[in-house]
Structure 1
Amino acid sequence: MNSAALITLALGTLACTQAELATRVGVSPSQITKWKKGEHMSLDMEGKIRALANIGDMDPTFVALAGSVEAAKKWGELIRYLADVAESSSETGYNTDPLNDEFGLLCWNVFYVLDEIGVEIPKIFPDSLDVDFDNVPEDFHETIESNHVASLIQKIFDSFVNVYGFYAAYIVDLLHDDELDVWDDAGDNISSGLMSLAATKISIEDGAYFAGKFVNFSYKIRDEYKDWLNIVKERAYRSGAPLRAELLDLVFGDEEDLREEAERQSLGFNDARLHPDVYMNELLQGMRVIHQVLPVIMKKLGIDDFNLDKSALSAD
């Protein structure tokens, strides 16, 4: 929870000073200043200030980016609708759990990504998107496509479904493998940043509304994921854990290719497959063993002089 955003919202809602807010919640004005700078806030105090700001259980950063509580509620309804559309059309064979928003983080996550790539959120919710989601108009899909923010959210969700499918098929079990012990070093970041990674897979043409921050954002996210996934690969090689796909495909692979790979795994087509890197690792380990054992065997057999006939190794 962003304590700074919550304090800012409370001050704006109440139209009061920091000293007046401090009096209302029973703390010193200096404590309000600390919270406004990001200091941790207790759950009890958070509940009091949430009630004063009238934001319910909505994330304060999401409300701040939306421009108002009312706009945030409407964006929230649209985001959940678009998430349902993306999840229902998924072909990966895996449930896209974050789109079900069990922990109430979806709206914040989407607006965080939009903010990072430079999208300006209109402070007044567009009238064309303000519909009854229990009775959606037949042409609402065209309405979404005509609004650059809504269409970008839909594109990010469509990409996210495929990215998450590959993650669920080939990576999540590795992150939770106690023998690899990668969660603290990489796993938490890999899991929590998938929406950002999905956004990097939208084409540059689609990124025309990203206000110039999309390219730098993409480089940053991909570099981070490359480092995190290489940690997982290194630990997997050391422990002999099987990799059934090239993990870096999550970063550099096309979203449709990720969908196909996830679907194949969900249908059992790739159950017996091991990524070539695993074979190479096993071969290298076997060669190291032979390198140590062979001299001992030759000594026991009394072989002092041995010349390798390289012509016998030819495929011809």
Structure 2
Amino acid sequence: MELLMVENILWIGFRSAVPLLLAALGEIYAERSGVLNLGVEGMMALGAASSFIVAIQTGSPWLGVLSGLLAAVLLALIHCFISITLKSNQVVSGLALSMLGLGVSSIIGRKYVGAQLPPEVRLLPRPLDPLHKIPLIGKPVFDQDPMFYMSLLLTAILWFILFRTRYGIIVRSAGGNPAAVDAAGISVAKVRYASTILGGALSGLAGAYLSISYNPVWIENITAGRGWIAIALVIFSLWDPAKALLTSFLFGSIEASSYTLQAFGYSQWLLSALPYLLTIIILMIGSSSKFRRRMGAPRYLGVPYERE
């Protein structure tokens, strides 16, 4: 009985971790290049709404996923133009776009509140025989949907690019020493544009996962603060995709355990609030410039590049 309970917690936790992981991976690249994107929540919300609407109208979950990705990329492009081209305050731009994304998603999703995707339009978990029968880890790892495995593959690819390729050095230098990138004849703006657009695309994928796989019934505020949790996970994972995988699974498992432990008389509200309380603590600590320097944050994070 206890083994089954742990297995179910891990299964739900791994599913809960996917949107956090995708959004965190994108934000890691944006911040590594020197761009602070606080619009993740809005990009996820717009991605979720666009994905749900297109999927229910076309009957294709993958067209829905693509539309969610593109919708979030549009917001990311706006953030790029404001913060990189116009060199405006990145915090203000990100917060404004977060509110814009949440507002637009609420408007376009209003007529779909309570609507449910048909089973054939969802990205459902599919057990991999016979691996899903392995005790404890079988169901959590081998009974998942395609986007779960996609997120694992993306983690490996993005980690390799960031730490094992020349382009990864360029991305990290754009946030750590942009003058050196410029001196090498490489456009800092283009590197930051590319990284921020990637971040938007992955936020859109995170939103698409929420509405097409994780919770295929449209509800208001479907993201429920997950974008902010993802931003906190970037700090918690020390701007490292591999560590983001672990921290996402940790937070996902905390969320999943709250559902299970309610049956044993623990406070529903306290358990549900735990991930958000941890997020607030991490963001408060991460707001300290002294802490960021010690933890290896990009030196020029949030600082527009001015050629001397």
TM-score (norm 1): 0.23
* Greater per-residue helix proportion: 2
Structure (1 or 2) with the larger CA radius of gyration: 1
TM-score normalised according to structure 2 size: 0.24
Q: Choose between structure 1 and 2 for higher RCO, CA contacts under 8 A separated by at least 6 residues.
A: 2
